[in-house]
Chain A
């Protein structure tokens, strides 16, 4: 049985189509990732799957329950670790956890055991009785993660779980997430705009761009699907579009021009590059800068969307929210 099924899931806000006919399934104890820039529709998808928003079109089931018609059942099945830090600063870590347990009807006695267990898992046992105000950003995020586990959800939704955290803390959180999946067999749906994170954590990745899924596969298959290495080159001066000339070279499989940079797909880049350079010199094309890139998810993303993840801009609301989260994390 699929734990999450989405069919043509669509959400419109006025004229804006935030999520556009998205379909996918997630299997039990799989870590499934939504990778995309700000404003691509990742959070909106999570909000629909966790019953915070109704889909405009299409349908989705989580744990076998319809997100619209059986929203109560869905809420009992899922846990959500939101992008915002929502733990209450004025309460202690323990009080936050107890409140969460009450909201999920976990009996006090069971709750105490589970809280101890969850806090140990995220390494916050010692800080449990301190006010959250005194926590660092990473600790807050970990507390948020622990809260999501208190009722032993079948499916855990993680919206940008490591947004704004430093590298060490991110690695720690990745380990927790993997441990959870391995030990508790929890199915995870996570969104991220960090390539690395998607690559390390996810069993399968959907690349989402402007509300649409543009690719969906395992990280390895996505990388293999690039069909070779990428040579990025720039000429030493402005000149007319040389795409066709480059395509005529024997080693070249495909060429894409992004700004002044040509992305050339070749097999065995190390061997192809020197020969190509010789040929280009004969044609009086002088190279200003060249690099050989082995396939990464970054390349996959660029390949499918024609844009680098770093340069994409989200809508204002999203950027604002992100900045606030970053600010709170860094406090």
Chain B
């Protein structure tokens, strides 16, 4: 079981490592996202007080205004230094979502091109086929996360003054749990789908709502009531929350209570969804 899973996972990893175009896209995509969303929508600079208004204020308040504004914005964005940092942290979860979706669904391609039949004829446990798909998807997700994080750092992501290697590890753990659950879920969805068109349609249908109905790109507070309810149960919200907490780790301390809640939810999500997903996927490989 383990040997076969490793062999199949290596195949998947080799497939994209050897594809220079894919690697380039993996690099360029987060740059575009971070540049467009993070920098163009820099909300901190959107809100400013007109100079004539500022001039009317008593001198002792004048200097206080920008500080106040920054505090207000920082408060809205969960304590991050600017919108870019807020958004870059959420972007990590979104990247995990995208990677999980597309690599989980690569089973459709394998089915279409007959590769899946080759695996099904081989004397290997069905579970190893499923595990290798989920495993390689998680590996790819983590790789992308490190890539995006490095790029965001270069673009000016501001971490708390006590941010260290343990926080990085904590971040990765949260994203790993998210990736595990999402990859299994998408694999289960895709396992019986036979055509490329269907799988792309399903991916598009799920991808935007999952991304926006969470606190990954915008705080939940501004959302309408019903959307808040959805966003509160979205695993992407919890992962983004945990990631932000670790990024903001300052000398004042880590928001341990928040991180604990996030992890409880993420562990539950990963466990339930990966077990259910893997079981459904295994059943999906049954003979007709």
Given contacts A52-B121, A82-B118, contact A103 B19 (CB under 8 A): no
B114 with A103: CB separation less than 8 A: no
B21 CB to closest chain A CB (Å) equals: 11
B11 in complex: contacting residue of A82, A99, A104, A131, CB < 8 Å: A99
A50 with B121: CB separation less than 8 A: yes
Q: Which residues of A62-79 are within 8 A (CB) of B?
A: 72, 75-76, 78
Is the CB of A4 closer than 8 A to any CB of chain B? no
A84 with B11: CB separation less than 8 A: no
Is the CB of B143 closer than 8 A to any CB of chain A? no
A103 with B124: CB separation less than 8 A: yes
Query: Which residue of A is nearest B120, CB measured?
Result: A52
Is the CB of B31 closer than 8 A to any CB of chain A? no
Given contacts A53-B287, A75-B123, A91-B15, contact A102 B115 (CB under 8 A): no
- Bound: A103/B118 CA distance, A: 10
B121 with A54: CB separation less than 8 A: no
Given contacts A52-B121, A54-B288, contact A88 B4 (CB under 8 A): no
A75 in complex: contacting residue of B113, B115, B121, B288, CB < 8 Å: B121
- Bound: A151/B3 CA distance, A: 16
B121 in complex: contacting residue of A13, A51, A83, A105, CB < 8 Å: A51
User: Across the interface, which residues of A come within 8 angstroms of B120, CB to CB?
Assistant: 51-52
Is the CB of A95 closer than 8 A to any CB of chain B? yes
B106 CB to closest chain A CB (Å) equals: 12
Is the CB of A80 closer than 8 A to any CB of chain B? yes
A53 with B288: CB separation less than 8 A: yes
Is the CB of A85 closer than 8 A to any CB of chain B? yes
B19 in complex: contacting residue of A13, A90, A104, CB < 8 Å: A90
User: Across the interface, which residues of B come within 8 angstroms of A105, CB to CB?
Assistant: 3, 123
- Bound: A80/B119 CA distance, A: 11
Interface bracket on B: 20 to 34
User: Across the interface, which residues of B come within 8 angstroms of A85, CB to CB?
Assistant: 113-114
B14 with A95: CB separation less than 8 A: yes
A88 in complex: contacting residue of B15, B123, B124, B288, CB < 8 Å: B15
User: Across the interface, which residues of B come within 8 angstroms of A88, CB to CB?
Assistant: 11, 15, 115
A76 with B15: CB separation less than 8 A: no
Given contacts A53-B288, A88-B11, A102-B4, contact A72 B113 (CB under 8 A): no
Given contacts A52-B287, A54-B288, contact A103 B4 (CB under 8 A): yes
Given contacts A86-B113, A91-B15, contact A99 B7 (CB under 8 A): yes
User: Across the interface, which residues of A come within 8 angstroms of B288, CB to CB?
Assistant: 13, 53-54
Query: Which residue of B is nearest A50, CB measured?
Result: B121
- Bound: A100/B8 CA distance, A: 10
B7 with A102: CB separation less than 8 A: yes
Given contacts A53-B287, A75-B123, A104-B122, contact A86 B11 (CB under 8 A): no
Sorted nearest first, the 6 A-B pairs with minimum C-beta distance are A84-B114, A102-B7, A75-B123, A103-B122, A86-B114, A90-B15
A interface residues with partner B (beta carbon < 8 Å): 13, 47, 50-54, 72, 75-76, 78, 80, 82-86, 88, 90-91, 95, 99-100, 102-105, 131
Additional A-B contacts beyond A51-B120, A99-B7 (14; CB < 8 A): A47-B117, A50-B121, A51-B121, A52-B287, A80-B117, A82-B118, A83-B114, A84-B117, A86-B117, A90-B19, A102-B3, A103-B4, A103-B122, A105-B123
B interface residues with partner A (beta carbon < 8 Å): 3-4, 7-8, 10-11, 14-15, 18-19, 113-115, 117-124, 287-288
Q: List 16 A-B contacts (CB under 8 A).
A: A47-B117, A50-B121, A51-B120, A52-B121, A53-B287, A53-B288, A75-B122, A80-B117, A80-B118, A83-B114, A86-B114, A95-B11, A95-B14, A102-B3, A103-B4, A105-B3
